[in-house]
Structure 1
Amino acid sequence: MSAKPVRWVMTGTGKPLVPAEFELAIPAADEVVVEIAGCGVCHTDLGYYYDGVRTKHALPLALGHEISGRVIEAGADALWYIDKAVIVPAVIPCGKCDACRRGKATICPNQKMPGNDIHGGFATHITVPAHGLCVVDERRLAAVGIELADLSVIADAVTTPYQAVVQAGVKKGDLVIVNGVGGVGGYAAQIAAALGGVVIALDVNEDKLAAIAGPGIALTLNARQMTPRDIKATIQEFAKRHNLPQTEWIIFECSGTRAGQETAFSLINHGATLAVVGFTMDKVEIRLSNLMAFHARAIGNWGCPPDMYPAALELVMDGRVKVGQFVEKHPLKEINQVFEAAHAGALKRRAVLVPEQ
């Protein structure tokens, strides 16, 4: 390794991210060192950087939790990972506590999130626990027409909605509404369609609706041009006309905005499921009694257990969920410009930052 590893660190809210060289420590027995191929820029990163959402690790801190790369060093208990292409889970559970043993890895009290609990992926290298790493069959990448860096977004933008769709129980013939189809929501729509749902996409951005439109998406609606009442009436009429379910809709709120969450809640009907996937610090005004009156349910979704990553990856590798056309790669050294563009809503695709190796 000729040059020293570098990470781009946040030193304060809104302050320019700066490069900092660091020494790679020898990995512990259950750790690996990953040479990073790409790291996706997520709405959560922008929340830390612009909105003052607190990180658990003190600043300075390298953000970034959507990471793919290659294992170059490993501890004694993880040697088989050396030279493997991998996706690093966005949330890494310990695998040993009571919650993990009971299959509740997403609420593991010892979980580590790169870019929050530990230094993240806006760097050339990262040291992480080996537990939960998702190995990528590189021989299949060329056939799918994507690069290892593109797969970084699987670590959150794909796997988080994958868990949400599985948790909500989407099956063939279900009427599925995805509110907010940029980023995570775009993948939620694709995954729900891949699992048999009849998907209706909502967004306030016509470009994002146009990008997701196509096979598997039954209807797109611009929520900026309609009231929530009109949206619900339009979906009811569409469902009736196409002999789709009039009850038990499955609604995914992926916009991460106050208006989006209020709109999504307004779409609840008898037996509905509301899955909250997007995050906002804003408070919303809703009538919780609707859950009682409609015998509906609302469920949260934090990350995705690592044991579900291979199934989500397979949806991408067999072409049922498209990744390449929804990402755009930028040099890591342009991180400040990319953050600014992402925050301003100027990017049409999810940015993936690629280090110069």
Structure 2
Amino acid sequence: MKSVICEAPHALGIGERSLPERHAGEVLIRIGRVGLCGTDYHIFAGNQPFLAYPRVMGHELAGTVAETDAGSAFREGDLVTVNPYLPCGRCIACRKGKPNCCVDIRVLGVHIDGGMTEFVSVPESAVIAVEGLTPDQAAMVEFLAVGAHAVRRGNARVADRALIVGAGPIGVGTALFAAMSGADVTLIDTSSERLTYARERIGIAHTAVVDAHVDTYLSDRTDGEFFDIVFDCTGSARAIEKGFAYVAHGGRYVLVSVVKDTISFADPEFHKREMQLIGSRNATSEDFARVISAIRQGHIPTDALKTHSFALFDLPQVIPDLIAHQGSVLKAIAEL
């Protein structure tokens, strides 16, 4: 079967992989949509810390069931999405109900080959029914679940002042779920183009470009107290370090993005604020369920989230242009 294979940084091509053998307890899925994620761009650029090349990328998936066990909850032709975080089920994190940060986790498209191909076979426990969603919406569930998980990790509450740093897909998803939790949301980014889109098409009212005046804007927005909760969704070590200054006394700082770098911060500032520093990794079935429910109820503007589409096997030709025009790309979805 044809597959998009990243052989090495900046080396993306079309190759052949064997059709996956479906084992007992697994579901064979015919891929129909694959969303492009920041992780995929980082893999292409050589900046993903958990990956070995070559790799078939892709973990934001939608497809139809091609084959499954007798007695399965799924039937051939069912539209499904996939929880791409495959846990071991035995480690300390799994025993504590946190399979998203399993010690031996295998993430489709990162640790093992993913969904930029024609078929994948995954454990039935990773397959999620999406009745009532379109294929495009089904492919958006995973990245939105990452935002929903971050908001749950940060315990966003009514009347919290929430700052989201980074207006890419994960940042916008985080902003949407923070607002649904009752928080007063502010979104900042270096791209005025992304912020204009988030404001005019997604409905995030308070935005600001990261420039020489942004600190004054954020201080004025919060009467000089800054934010009860800050979410970093940038993938930038420098932005993460800067974000510590935006957390209010008694506030919470949630690191959603992953970087290779070592992060440093001023301990006196951290301690005098009694700040909580919180990691947020991947998502759980609870987050997937919340996202699917929100889409069904019309709370997520999925038509506005999707900005680009193309044929999957055109990706090697398309990805340089997507990277060159990131300001206009929110969610790109490949089709088979």
**TM-score (norm: length of structure 1):** 0.85
Q: Secondary structure at the match of 1:16?
A: strand
Q: Which runs of 5+ in 2 are unaligned?
A: none
Q: CA deviation at 1:262?
A: 2.5
Q: Secondary structure at the match of 1:172?
A: coil
What does residue 13 of structure 1 align with? 9
What does residue 144 of structure 1 align with? none
Cα separation, 1, equivalents of 2:120 and 2:35: 14
Q: CA deviation at 1:338?
A: 2.8
What does residue 40 of structure 2 align with? 45
Contact (CA 8 Å) 1:30, 1:77: kept in 2 or not? no
Q: CA deviation at 1:285?
A: 4.5
Contact (CA 8 Å) 1:332, 1:353: kept in 2 or not? yes
Equivalent position amino acid for 1:128 in 2:
V
What does residue 313 of structure 2 align with? 333
Pick the aligned partner of 1:239 from 216, 222, 232.
Answer: 222
Pick the aligned partner of 2:59 from 43, 61, 65.
Answer: 65
Cα separation, 1, equivalents of 2:14 and 2:77: 29
Q: CA deviation at 1:61?
A: 2.4
Q: How does 1:126-275 map to 2 (within 5 A)?
A: 126-138=120-132, 141=133, 147-155=134-142, 157-213=143-199, 217-226=204-213, 230-231=214-215, 233-240=216-223, 246=225, 249-275=228-254
Q: CA deviation at 1:160?
A: 0.8
Contact (CA 8 Å) 1:179, 1:203: kept in 2 or not? yes
Q: Secondary structure at the match of 1:177?
A: strand
What does residue 257 of structure 2 align with? 278
Change (3 A) 1:150 1:14: same
Change (3 A) 1:168 1:62: same
Cα separation, 2, equivalents of 1:162 and 1:81: 29
Equivalent position amino acid for 2:319 in 1:
F
Cα separation, 2, equivalents of 1:337 and 1:194: 38
Contact (CA 8 Å) 1:31, 1:78: kept in 2 or not? no
The superposition leaves residues 300-342 of structure 1 with CA deviations (integer Å, 9 ceiling, x where unpaired) of 1110012321112211221212222122221012111332123
Q: Secondary structure at the match of 1:274?
A: strand
Change (3 A) 1:77 1:53: farther
Cα separation, 2, equivalents of 1:248 and 1:90: 32
Change (3 A) 1:289 1:344: farther
Cα separation, 2, equivalents of 1:71 and 1:102: 31
Change (3 A) 1:128 1:177: same
What does residue 119 of structure 1 align with? 113
Q: CA deviation at 1:84?
A: 2.2
Change (3 A) 1:77 1:106: farther
Q: CA deviation at 1:118?
A: 2.1
Equivalent position amino acid for 1:136 in 2:
V
**TM-score (norm: length of structure 2):** 0.90
Matched, 1:350 2:331: yes
Q: CA deviation at 1:163?
A: 0.5
Q: CA deviation at 1:218?
A: 4.3
What does residue 96 of structure 2 align with? 102
Q: CA deviation at 1:97?
A: 4.7
Change (3 A) 1:307 1:30: farther
How many residues end up aligned between the 2 structures? 333
Equivalent position amino acid for 2:14 in 1:
V
Q: CA deviation at 1:73?
A: 0.8
Contact (CA 8 Å) 2:87, 2:99: kept in 1 or not? yes
The superposition leaves residues 93-151 of structure 1 with CA deviations (integer Å, 9 ceiling, x where unpaired) of 2445553232121222342211122211111111111113221013xx3xxxxx31343
Cα separation, 2, equivalents of 1:180 and 1:151: 23
